Amino acid sequence: MLTAEHLLTLQSVANPVLSPSETEAVFTRTLIDKEDNKYYSHLFHLHIESGEITQWTFGKERISSPKWSPDGTKIAFLSNRDEKKQLYILHSRGGEAKKVTDLANGVSSFLWSPCGEKIWLTASVKQGKAVTDKAEKEENKFPQAYVVNGMKYKMDGLGGAGLRAQDQFTQIAVLTIADEKLEQFTTGDFHHGLAGISRDGNEIVMSVNRAENLDYEFRTPLYIVDTKTKEEKVLVEAEGYYGDVSYSYDNRYIAYVGSDTSYKNATHNNVYVYDRRTGLTQQLTEMLNAPVGDLAVADVQQGVDAPGVVWTETNALYFQLSTMGDVRLYYADLEGSIFPASPEGEHIYSYDVARSGNWAIAAISNPVFPGELFFLDITSGERRQLTNFNEEFMREVPLSVPEPIVYQTTIGDVHGWIMKPISYEKGKKYPLIVEVHGGPHTMYANTFFHEMQLLASQGYGVLYVNPRGSHGYSQEFVDGVRGDYGGGDYEDIMAGVDYALKTYDWIDESRLGVTGGSYGGFMTNWIVGHTNRFKAAVTQRSISNWISFSGVSDIGYYFNDWQHLVDIKSVDKLWDFSPLKYAENVETPLLILHSEKDFRCPIEQAEQLYITLKSLGKEVGFVRFPDNDHNLSRTGTPNLRIERLSQIIGWFNKYI
């Protein structure tokens, strides 16, 4: 039977990268070391024709961003084996990996120059210092004051107090491999991103926003930069976020992925193609009405870094598309043809495509399959499984098969899934747990979800749906939640409960539970303040008070405006949206789970809710998780992820 501890045995296979000869590939495999209580990822080699797999690195480290040299003789990657992420180069025919950088703040990203003799990289550099400067020895060990400068002064996921290094800026540099000489390319107190490089190496595409005040700047301008003269030409300067740049093989076209701000952070990502000859830009995916990229929420895949687009030699390209609960591989050409290149019912979370466009290597998951690498013959639709890291788990652990459901609400069709308990017997009644995803602009998908399977293994049915606000069903659908939190989205979820009760006679209507995290935590709080239908609830990394959220969250000061369409001056409106306002109505036993270092939904949101409910004499519990951020359920400290699952199961077992 599946347990919480199985999370520690599942292995995440991702990031396949084809060699220039296309006869071999490298990829990463991430697992959890139980004794060290840490994640380690290693580099593996795949011989495509024979299927032979060889592990190339073994250390206690996390490897990321593997990239072949243009001649296929070397692989460069980032590793934290010496604490900071540094750049390493490994010969493809054997030997030890060589560390080729020793930068004070490590390496953020890199790209091979097409000549194979240089590597472009980005690194964080202290104001007034150069990339080549060594780390300074800290002589003063006393705590130092942090003088806040600007409104974007903290960010979830940074660790520590979540404070941004305001005196550090990301610069681009060039490393000459032969002598390991590093030369800084950019200057100025701005954050520079390395978005792409031309096939001849004469241009890079750089992202940089040089506005003096970035508080209300929500854009990433892209510039084409001559690598010799440093002359810049604007590629895109519109409002919005753009990146994942890739040059076509003939060097004529530049593809990139991004979105404008028409619907703020609910806007679909699209693929754009710039013609360097005519200077015109084409929005290639305009007619799809679905977001480019992987918007699926899951809890197994680790360290995934999928390309935004991959060109073929015929000037067609491939990309991921999140649509109807799937993440599929899509094909498009410059004449307007566009169609899916992979089937429904699965989650393609990593991939690389051969130059011909006829085949690909992809990492694929589905609701009863954690994920492995496959060879995909795109022309015939045939596939061959290449890795079997989770074979033992698949062989030994029974799983529940989610059943897709569709039901009607005021916005139209709403899509979701329902799972029977693993121990299901016809004629018996079972409790049902409703799961609500975060975002709200993500989506539940046809992917493996350990938490859902755990609930099913404990004798619970599970209902999870994509209410309005979820990605994958149209721009109108994802925008439908903005300005209406607790309105149509609440209706969609409760209509799903009604549909399940009407359709499945095995559900015990008197034994319902609900849980969710982030936006799903907000919705859990909202639900228990507006209905007593649930016997128990668990709210995670939640929001209870949008007024205080505005000042304490790393995104709070603009998120209210984007999502509720009002700012902090509209206190009455924000209070109407706040679950805390309805605390007196709560009769459902509620467990509050929250990470101490969550700066996206800070723990004061949980504290307010707990103290309020406790003072009202409500049945409430509170569990705090130290040294973890907003992503506890996905990438948090392994033992605390297990504890979190145990707390959820324990609460439901106690009250349901």
Domain ranges of the chain: 4-137+148-393, 401-655
Phi and psi angles of residue 520, each rounded to the nearest 5 degrees, phi first: -65, -30
Q: Give the list of residues 6+ apart from residue 219 with CB closer than 8 angstroms, or none.
A: 209, 237, 238, 239, 240, 241, 261
pLDDT digits (tens, 9 = 90+) for 3-26: 999 999 999 999 999 999 999 999
- In angstroms, the Cα distances linking 171 to 80, 164, 224 are 20, 16, 16
> For the residues of 258-305, what is the DSSP string, one character each?
EE-STTGGGPPPEEEEEETTT--EEETTTTT-S-BS--B--SS--S--
| Nearest residue to 656 (alpha-carbon basis) of 562, 505, 534 | 534
Per-residue pLDDT, 83: 84
Give this prediction's pTM. Answer: 0.97
| Nearest residue to 102 (alpha-carbon basis) of 136, 129, 53, 135 | 135
SS3 content of the chain, % helix, strand, coil (to 5): 20, 35, 45
Verify whether residue 471 is a known catalytic residue: no
Residue 137: strand, helix, or coil: coil
Query: Of 322, 457, 518, 595, which is the active-site residue?
Result: 518
Query: Of 12, 322, 630, 633, which is the active-site residue?
Result: 630
Per-residue pLDDT, 26: 98
Verify whether residue 518 is a known catalytic residue: yes
Per-residue pLDDT, 459: 98
Q: Which residues of the chain have pLDDT under 50?
A: none
Q: Does domain 4-137+148-393 have CATH number 2.120.10.30?
A: yes
Distance between first and last Cα of the chain = 21
Per-residue pLDDT, 133: 82
As assigned by CATH, the class of the 401-655 domain is: alpha beta
